[in-house]
Amino acid sequence: MNLDKPEDILKLLPHRYPFLLVDRVIEFTPGERLVAIKNVSFNEPHFQGHFPENPVMPGVLILEAMAQAGALFAGYTDVESVAGRLVYFMTIDRVRFRKPVIPGDQLRLVLTLARRRKDIWRFDGKAYTGEDLAAEALLMAMTRDAKEA
């Protein structure tokens, strides 16, 4: 799989506009770490209401971007066992929002594998704007056949 091609993201993730929150994977070390980019645009629909005079990316969408990067991590790490399956959130722990993410920012999502046990993945996720830590969390997800969902 070529990580430089955005269309590979579409092959692994079921998400589409306006809910696809990863634009590109820029670094990947199998089984260890993935770094992805989300370009934050003023044209995104949530900024109309959150907040019109002072737009801030909702924290739940930052977490969702981390989760989508985690799904890509799992898919790139173990193509055979993740292919044709969906990745679902199980838990989100130790969430901290450190800095608002605003239009024009480039969100750098850094996911490190903390643990894997069969179909269950645990990631340490961090989201940066520039060198500033914007958010962090421990994420746990599981893969399931789409038919089982």
pLDDT of residue 82: 82
113 contacts: CB under 8 Å, gap ≥ 6: 31, 32, 33, 73, 77, 121, 122, 123
- pLDDT for res 4: 67
pLDDT tens readout for residues 1-44? 666 688 889 988 999 999 999 999 999 999 999 999 999 999 99
pLDDT band at 139 (very low <50, low <70, confident <90, very high): very high
For position 119, what pLDDT does the model report? 92
> Is 15 a residue of the active site?
no
Are the beta carbons of 86 and 143 closer than 8 angstroms? yes
Q: How far apart are CA 33 and CA 23, in angstroms?
A: 17
Residue range 76-116, pLDDT digits in tens: 999 887 878 888 999 999 999 999 999 999 999 999 999 99
**Under 8 Å CB-to-CB from 121, ≥6 apart: which residues?**
70, 73, 74, 87, 113, 115, 140, 141, 142, 143
Of the residues 33, 50, 116, 122, only one is catalytic, namely 50
Contacts of residue 27, defined as CB under 8 A and 6 or more positions apart, other chains included, come to: 33, 34, 35
Q: What pLDDT score does 81 carry? A: 76
Please state, in angstroms and rounded to a whole number, the distance separating the CA atoms of residues 11 and 100.
31
Tokens standing for 57? 């990316």
The pTM for the full model equals: 0.94
Name all domains of the chain by residue range, CATH numbers in brackets.
6-145 (3.10.129.10)
